[in-house]
A and B are shown apart, each in its own frame.
Chain A
Amino acid sequence: MSRYIFRRLVAMPLVLLGIVTLTFFASRLAGDPIVSIVGLRGAGNADTVAAARAKWGLDGSIIHQYLVYLSHLVRGDLGISITTRQSVVSDIARKLPATGELAIGAMLFGGVGGVLLGVLAAARKGRWVDSVIRGFAVAGASLPVFWTALVLLFFLYAKTGWLPGPGRLPARIDPPLHRTGMYTVDALLSGNFTLFRQTLMRLLLPSFVLGWALMGGVARTVRATVLDELHSDYVRTARSKGISERAVFIGHVLRNAMLPILTLLGLSFASLLTGAVLVENIFSWNGLGQYTVHAAQALDYPALYGTCMTGALIFLTANLVTDVLYGLVDPKVRLT
């Protein structure tokens, strides 16, 4: 087990190196960052361009620039963002909690909501509740995130006012004292329950939109597993021993459904990251996703490489954790 984890941890920097190389060269095939630094007007002035090239380390060959970037990267330096003029590492560190808060919300919707819906669908198999849940799952997997976000905002915010609009905070309200950077947690830690309620309400819709696809997938898996297992021999044995329905369900049936759910949650990180880029853009959620979009639009190369690498790192870690948990939950799986 520990050897397996060690091997995977050794492979991770190699995959990351591959990703850095790919993004670096793919982004530089056509674009020259100098234009995004000095602007179109400045690009006509030879002195400005030469000075900016020297200042931003863009005067060598592309191979040279790549090696320089790598040597900085090894020391944990991701360079300076062209748009914010601050270090990319500190930018990312500042934006990450907002995305984390969103992702946790989406995971809760996906995991908890999905299990509940799946159990409900299995219990009402073939009835209308089952069909509605199936439709809900199909919709989650196939509706464009950016579109559902707008449609739900229109109905739940603009038309009815049931939920607050975009943004992490109400207008003219200061964020809570910075502890974790997640506003809901920080509000709770500083004992400000009004603010906690406000930030939680604002978190609700974006994390639901982000978690919808996941929720549908989990619900379908849970429904299938529950229906399979309910008629299996071990469930009959457990029942015949006089164990209550609830205990059979939680202790035996749901436990068997855990493995596929775990896989789904682990693999969902890629789509959560993708979705976060879109959802944050719509909900003016000042996190990593919005930072990435702005970096791409402004051709802010250092920021773009940084966010790509962060995304890949999160994804690889999630995969590793999933595999390890798999080994812990399922005694049949032996990681070598």
Chain B
Amino acid sequence: MNTRLVAFRHALRRPQITFGVLVSLFWFLVVITVNLWAPYKAYEQTGVRLSPPSLHHLFGTDVLGRDVFSRVMYGSRQSIPIAVVVIVFAVLVGSVVGGISGYIGGRLDSFIMRITDVFISFPALLFAMVIAASLGRSSRSTMIAVSVTWWPFYARLVRGQVMSIRNREHIEAAVSIGAGTSRILRKHVLPLTMTPVMVNATSDFGFVVLVVSSLSFLGLGAKPPTPEWGTMVAEGSQNFYQWWLALTPGLAIVTIILGFNFLGDGVRDELDKRSATK
């Protein structure tokens, strides 16, 4: 435990990581506690329409007189849980599929890889648009649509890792004492793939938020009046000269992308440095 603490303190010396940790902590705290301190409710009409940012309304108010600051903060309860579900789903499915593909190899491997080829040779947003459109406009269909398109990248990543681990001695040892394939995968192979997967998932988090909000910006995600960031930017673009309407929800997305990107990059650099000094 103590050594972990030291490593953590050491990692915090990288400004990238500090920034990333602060941003992600901030947003996760907002998700949990926003209802306790937000000045207004997400759908509450304050009576003042299209007011520019002021001390009373930090991010101004919109066409219906709703407080934009409160709506942006409540917006975190749309995108962030969706992104968590998408990433968890992608990591789980990707690990299982990629693990089996890489460990067993042969025909099964090439079959699975051809399937991931299809996904990867196709812009994820386009495919997500098709699914989201057919499921109808809602946060739930966005979640399903992005989850379905996201796992192949993880399957490829895990497969590559597994193929390099497969021939190590401890696996041979496990095979020789008669451990089954599923046990070897679960206990000896997949745990070793987790570090690169987690680093990747961290950098990826912001991009999932981006795809989710892009879908709703295009009118294929959460419907108005849901306080969803992409939907809010789209609504804001209708009142173009009231710049705060589109600017502020966009800034929320920007902080998340930057924060998680920096965090992922920083952790990757830190791990590279440590494996280099070993």
A and B part of one assembly: yes
> Pick the contact of A31 from B117, B134, B218, B254 — CB < 8 Å?
B134
Quick check: B218 and A278 within 8 Å, CB to CB? yes
Within 8 A of B (CB), among A304-321: 304, 307-308, 311-312, 315-316, 319
| B interface secondary structure, majority | helix
* Interface flag for A117 (CB, 8 Å): no
* Interface flag for A52 (CB, 8 Å): no
B249's nearest neighbour on chain A, judged by CB, is: A147
Quick check: A26 and B127 within 8 Å, CB to CB? yes
Within 8 A of B (CB), among A128-156: 138, 141-147, 150-151, 153-154
A106 CB → nearest B CB, Å: 15
CB contacts (< 8 Å) of B143 on chain A: these are none
CB contacts (< 8 Å) of B117 on chain A: these are 15, 18
A23 CB → nearest B CB, Å: 5
Quick check: A144 and B213 within 8 Å, CB to CB? yes
Quick check: A31 and B214 within 8 Å, CB to CB? no
* Interface flag for A293 (CB, 8 Å): yes
Known contacts A27-B133, A299-B134; A147/B123 CB under 8 A:
no
CA distance A311 to B230 in the complex (A): 23
A173 CB → nearest B CB, Å: 22
Quick check: A311 and B124 within 8 Å, CB to CB? no
Quick check: B126 and A308 within 8 Å, CB to CB? yes
CB contacts (< 8 Å) of B86 on chain A: these are none
**Number of A-B contacts defined by CB within 8 Å:** 132
B160 CB → nearest A CB, Å: 18
Quick check: A316 and B217 within 8 Å, CB to CB? no
- Among the stretches B2-10, B44-52, B181-189, B240-248, the one at the interface with A is B240-248
Known contacts A31-B135, A142-B258, A304-B133; A293/B218 CB under 8 A:
yes
Known contacts A143-B254, A311-B126; A27/B118 CB under 8 A:
no
Residue from the set A299, A312, A316, A319 with the largest chain B CB neighbour count within 10 Å: A312
Known contacts A146-B214, A273-B123; A23/B130 CB under 8 A:
yes
* Interface flag for A29 (CB, 8 Å): yes
A299 CB → nearest B CB, Å: 6
A295's nearest neighbour on chain B, judged by CB, is: B133
* Interface flag for A207 (CB, 8 Å): no
Q: Which bracket fits the contact residues of B?
A: 35 or more
> Pick the contact of A27 from B121, B122, B134, B219 — CB < 8 Å?
B134
> Pick the contact of B121 from A15, A26, A153 — CB < 8 Å?
A15
| A interface secondary structure, majority | helix
CA distance A316 to B261 in the complex (A): 28
* Interface flag for B53 (CB, 8 Å): no
B156 CB → nearest A CB, Å: 15
Quick check: A158 and B121 within 8 Å, CB to CB? no
CA distance A23 to B6 in the complex (A): 50
User: Digit string of A9-33 for contact with B (CB within 8 Å is 1, else 0)?
Assistant: 0000011001100110011111100
B135 CB → nearest A CB, Å: 5
> Pick the contact of A15 from B118, B241, B257 — CB < 8 Å?
B118
Known contacts A22-B118, A296-B129; A30/B206 CB under 8 A:
no
Known contacts A142-B206, A315-B123; A297/B130 CB under 8 A:
no
Given A142-B258, A150-B246, 20 further pairs, Cβ under 8 A? A22-B118, A22-B119, A29-B134, A141-B261, A143-B257, A146-B214, A150-B233, A150-B247, A151-B250, A154-B240, A270-B123, A273-B123, A277-B125, A277-B129, A281-B218, A292-B126, A296-B132, A299-B134, A304-B129, A315-B122
What are the 3 tightest A-B residue pairs by CB atom distance, in nearest-first order?
Answer: A147-B250, A18-B118, A31-B134
9 contacts between A and B (CB under 8 A): A18-B118, A30-B136, A31-B134, A154-B243, A270-B123, A274-B125, A296-B218, A304-B130, A312-B121
Chain B: residues with CB nearer than 8 A to chain A? 114-115, 117-119, 121-127, 129-136, 148, 206, 210, 213-214, 217-220, 230, 233, 236-237, 240-241, 243, 246-247, 250, 253-254, 257-258, 261
Chain A: residues with CB nearer than 8 A to chain B? 14-15, 18-19, 22-23, 26-31, 138, 141-147, 150-151, 153-154, 158, 270-271, 273-274, 277-278, 281-282, 292-293, 296-297, 299, 304, 307-308, 311-312, 315-316, 319
